[in-house]
Amino acid sequence: MSRNASGTVRVDKELEEFRSLMEPPSTFEEGFTWPAFFGALFVSLVMVPGAIYMALIAGTTIGPAAQWVTVILFIEVARRANKSLKKAEIFTLFYLTGAIMAPAAAATGLFDGGLRLLWVQFYAQSSAAQASGIAEQLPIWVSPTDPSVLDQRSVLMWEWLPAIGLIVFTTVLGRIDNMVLGYGLFRLTSDVEKLPFPMAPLGAQGILALSEEQTEESGKPDIGGDTPQARGWRWRIFSIGAFIGLVFGAIYIGLPIITGALMDEPIVIFPIPFVDLTQKTAHVLPAVAVALSWDLGHLMIGMVLPFFAMLGAFIGLLITFIANPILYHFDILSAWTPTDPYVRTLFKNNVDFYFSFSIGVSLAIALVGLSALFAGLYRLRRRRQEMALRGETMDNPYAPPTGRGDLPPWLIAAIYFISTGLYIGVSCLLLYQVHGEVHRGVLIAMLGYGFVYTPLISYATARLEGIAGQVVTIPFVREAAFILSGYRGVAVWFLPIPLHNYGERAVSYRQAELTGTRFYSIWKADLILTPLIIVCGLMFAHLIWRLGPIPGPQFLFAQEMWDFYAENQSIIFSSTLTGFSEFDEAFNPWYIVAGLGLGVFAFGGLTAMGTPVFLVYGVVRGLGQTVPHAVFLEFLGALIGKFYFQRKLGLRWRQYVPVVAAGFSCGVGLVGTFGVGVVFLVRAVFQLPY
């Protein structure tokens, strides 16, 4: 909702359509039962080593594949035991598997848990860290640096206890504050602002498709009522999507994975992850990153997300295509050269302009959201006062549903302040251990992270997730802050600083609500899963390390890419040793003001013209240099869904497409799992020297 020029409340049609697309049930069930507990054991004992090994050998995770495979496996086991799993139990299993896959984002060079120990032992010995003088300054709570310890290839040594202790601290506290503060953002954006969360039905509808309790609670007549035929529509649509995913996945990822394991060069039909066109278009579109993805998943996402959100993102992309050549002409994007490829162009543009500008745009999103929130609370207060004068009372429209398992607001605030204080306190102790003092600039940066930046970026992300299914990411915030702080040393780069983005977690709570799962179920699952993740992660990291040096010939991706990651990180880490970095120029207050001003102006102007809310957020988000390789395919999917399928099927299309997309994800995941199995079999076979 928004207000027009006359002051009346205007209802956004598409926003209401997505909000009512899938109604939460009237009752909520416990999802963390014995099947979910055994699921936690299963993913800990089976998925953790698979995730670590895949990160080392292929540089990827088996996240979506592992989620669907685990859920389908437990459903089939239950059927053979003449039992059925409730929707809440299926969602909890789905959630558990997703949580276990999160720590191994190795494709981006980010590591956590047991994989982090394997990374830091390599980094301490890497030529990049040695040459830059970083290795000799690594604190004991990062990694042992004694070669006699590292040569043992074992984490079961006293020298590893400080590093393991820091991992345990960050894992436990991170799980607690992430689940509680993500819940608080969900309460604000879903219960108070009534945002639709268009990506939430993607997982929820897939779970309902696999559930044996497929009852249509909404009773919409266009689906067919509460008959056995009507209740089975989700499974039929899910199967169609799964078949499409199997066919596409076999060509897109299955063929390269399997042929890459059997041949010197893999057979690739569709380039992965995108086709880089930047150098070919440089003379026409200077300083513009141009690439095209062939991943059909982006087409599916474009169909699932609101059309006007995709249109807004495409308009934002066009604005970038127009603005970047102008900025290049006026020497604002001065670092770019015509020979720079796609990724390098994005990097240089971020450093020159979009780093600071994106901060301003994110501030605009957060400020507009806060103003809408306070305006809604003010209207509610005025209405209550008017009713009180008439002797009437009204129920609180923001009160959570009974039985959902909600927390009081004071507890959310208390956990936020306690967790942030613990992050800062432990970081100060670690700095004191290294330097004998706490650097004032670093302390100011951490306070700014914890109590200013993190709440704003988390709320902006939660609002964008709730409206357009997108997230806010501002690169190099940590790097710029530490460099500008004047700190000298390397310990600061390994501190558990309170720099987080809790907004993405709000989607999982909306999915839990849509599947009728009590929130206490996923909280209990997190508390049970956390020690299992820690113990199993460390144990399997130890066992895998014992197989051979990491990186090494048995771990192809690590051998190929970890040196590259180490060189990139050493460039940044050494900036606080030498006092020089290209990020010195990245933080520009005037660009932040420009982003804030343009964002607020765009919000005000587009809203005054009566444009849909989705379009407003899509355009404003696109002002922060939209990443183009996915936007083209997503916008094409939005056009196909809007002007073909929706005209052909009407409102049923909006109910069908999340199920199709969930089935597609399952199909692609199954192909990926099969391909990984083939790779494991091939790597397990060794050739004799005769």
The whole-angstrom separation of Cα 10 and Cα 4 is 6
Split at pLDDT 50, 70, 90, the class of 523 is: confident
Helix H or strand E encompassing 184: helix 161-186
pLDDT reported for residue 487: 83
Mean pLDDT of 589-602: 83
Give bridge partners of residue 555 from the DSSP assignment: 552
The whole-angstrom separation of Cα 351 and Cα 571 is 14
Q: Poorest-confidence range of 5-9, 147-151, 544-548?
A: 5-9
pLDDT reported for residue 8: 37
CB-CB contact of 294 with 271 (8 Å)? yes
CB-CB contact of 291 with 628 (8 Å)? yes
The tokens for 651 are 């409102």
CA 260 to chain centre: 28
| SS3 of 90-115 | HHHHHHHHHHHHCCCCHHHCCCCHHH
Domain limits of the chain?
A: 2-30+111-199+271-649
The whole-angstrom separation of Cα 349 and Cα 343 is 10
Give bridge partners of residue 552 from the DSSP assignment: 555
Split at pLDDT 50, 70, 90, the class of 468 is: low
Split at pLDDT 50, 70, 90, the class of 132 is: confident
Per-residue pLDDT for 392 more than 70?
no
CA 480 to chain centre: 22
Mean pLDDT of 64-92: 74
Helix 87-101 to helix 34-42 angle (10° resolution) is 20
pLDDT digits (tens, 9 = 90+) for 476-490: 677 777 877 788 888
Stronger pLDDT, 322 or 682, i.e. the higher one: 322
Per-residue pLDDT for 445 more than 80?
yes
The tokens for 86 are 């409730």
pLDDT digits (tens, 9 = 90+) for 83-123: 777 788 888 888 877 776 655 443 334 456 667 888 888 88
Per-residue pLDDT for 321 more than 50?
yes
Q: Which amino acid is at 369?
A: G
The whole-angstrom separation of Cα 392 and Cα 397 is 15
Q: Pinpoint the alpha helices (H) of 548-579.
A: 556-573, 575-578
Report in angstroms the alpha-carbon separations of 218 from 39, 85, 523.
Answer: 30, 21, 28
Per-residue pLDDT for 227 more than 50?
no
pLDDT reported for residue 422: 92
Split at pLDDT 50, 70, 90, the class of 223 is: very low
Backbone angles phi, psi at 365, to 5 degrees: -60, -45
Mean pLDDT of 246-270: 80
Output the average pLDDT for the chain: 76
CB-CB contact of 488 with 579 (8 Å)? yes
Split at pLDDT 50, 70, 90, the class of 228 is: very low
Q: Which residues contact 131 (CB under 8 A, 6 or more apart)?
A: 570
Q: For residue 650, how many other CB atoms are within 10 A of its CB? A: 10
Per-residue pLDDT for 491 more than 60?
yes
Q: Poorest-confidence range of 26-35, 198-207, 311-320, 430-439?
A: 198-207
Per-residue pLDDT for 22 more than 80?
no
Express as a percent the part of the chain with pLDDT over 90.
2
Per-residue pLDDT for 206 more than 60?
yes
Split at pLDDT 50, 70, 90, the class of 4 is: very low
The whole-angstrom separation of Cα 661 and Cα 601 is 36
Split at pLDDT 50, 70, 90, the class of 429 is: very high
